[in-house]
A and B are shown apart, each in its own frame.
Chain A
Amino acid sequence: MTTMTMGGTEVKLNAEGFFEDPSQWTRDMATEMAAADGLTLSDKHWQVIDFMRREFLEKGTGPTVRVLGKASGVSIKELYQLFPTGPAKTAARLAGIPKPKGCI
């Protein structure tokens, strides 16, 4: 576990950079983390990030890419254009939720 200061708050992150405590997350932190990855968040990015967070808060786990493609309103092709380093993984990290488990 490491800690990082974002927007004046000390945030706990795991070894892969995912939030240890999703309640610490703010939208500004997502923007800041994305910028560090070289990503400028568009409305489409936010659509995915917001969907990830909603799913996590409802179900306790983030959605897979398959679910994202079916239910987030953004197609799989587009998801990979928005998040070239892996949509579910990257969007979960930016949404301040744990890395989605599962192989699909």
Chain B
Amino acid sequence: MNMQDRSPEKVTPEKITKVSIIISKGSLEGIYPGLIMANGARAEGMDANLFFTFFGLDAIHRNRIDHIKVATVGNPAMHIPTLMGALPGMSALATHMMNKKMENLDIPPIHEFIEMIADTGAGLYACKASVDMFGLTSEDFVPQVKDIITVGDFYDLAAGGQIIFT
């Protein structure tokens, strides 16, 4: 290989073949990006794992999965004053509007999306430390969750791929 062939624009980077995505937040805007990335990875033929930790556990919690809301307070990108964002019903309204927009874009509701991602063959896991901290058990999660695993197990699963924290 001569010098010219090694120039950055001539080298084709190796493709990503596996991703492990951590979802740590429980708001609508905190959950969707990780789900879209996991689903997209499978659609491209990559392996994908999802690891839910801290408030991200709401995305797989039986009783909470259908009640995920947009955070309208402390979010400058909402472009509404913080005090207005705190008004009763504001979060529900913003969530309703965003859900409608996403449905138009063919982005499924979180519950359907979780089922769909599990069906693609991606692995869904809950973080043991968070599960213990919130006093939960496997009974609290939707059936698509494969297991409750430790951080060490997560790193084993993630071996040989990229890790994405959201």
Contacts and interface: CB of A to CB of B under 8 A. Distances in A.
Interface string B139-164: 00000000000000000000000000
Contacts of B119: 69, 75-77, 80
A104 interface: yes
Interface extent on A, as a size class? 10 to 19
A89 B120 contact: no
Instruction: Please classify the interface of chain A as helix (H, G, I), strand (E, B), loop, or mixed, using the class held by over half of its residues.
Output: helix
Contacts, number: 45
A82 B38 CA distance: 19
A84 interface: yes
A88 interface: yes
Interface string B29-56: 0000000100110111100000000000
A66 B121 CA distance: 14
Interface residues of B, number: 15
B40 A103 contact: yes
Nearest to B37: A103
Contacts of A77: 119, 121
B78 interface: no
A86 interface: yes
Given A66-B116, A103-B36, A86 B106 contact: no
Given A65-B120, A75-B119, A104-B39, A84 B106 contact: no
B85 interface: no
Interface of A: 64-67, 69, 75-77, 80, 84-90, 102-104
